[in-house]
Amino acid sequence: MKNLLVELRIGNWLFSEGKFFCVTEALFPHLLLKRTSKFEPIRLTPQIIECAGFRTTSSFFDSKKMIEGVIYDNYCVDPNDEYGISYYFSLCELGVMSTDPNLQEPLVIIKEVHYLHQLQNLIYSLFKTEIKVEFHKSYLE
């Protein structure tokens, strides 16, 4: 990923040398100076999405693209509980949903969300809140 360093902020998670780690204030200058391919973004997989607090809620079928997949929801990101986030796994799209039961369609669709740091940054930009990423112990060993 060419622009990884441009997209990073403190609190983002990365992968390096077989381990996940969080970008800290102390680590950030080291990442900028090193400019090495040792640091990789974490691709969103069902397991990683669940570590970020999302849960499987339903499936979907996009007839235009002939793609079916699973929808992962996280309704804990908005402190005012007015919106929720849905991630359409096979499409790599993030949907901002209203919690109003009369509104069924996403209010906003953001395409090309492939990596955990992108998901973290989008949710922070939209709601000014961090999503809590809890890796299973086996991921951190």
Query: Tell me: the pLDDT tens digits for 121-139?
Result: 988 888 788 888 988 765 5
Query: Tell me: the pLDDT tens digits for 16-58?
Result: 888 888 888 887 777 766 655 578 899 998 888 888 888 887 7
Q: Residues for the chain: how many in total?
A: 141
Strand partners, 19: 16
For residue 38, the surrounding DSSP H or E stretch is none
DSSP string, 8-37: --TT-EEEETTEEEE--TTTHHHHHHH--T
Phi, psi of 37 (to 5 degrees): -85, 5
DSSP state letter for 90: G
Kindly tell me the sign of the dihedral angle through the C-alpha atoms of 51, 86, 119, 68: positive
State the pTM of this model: 0.78
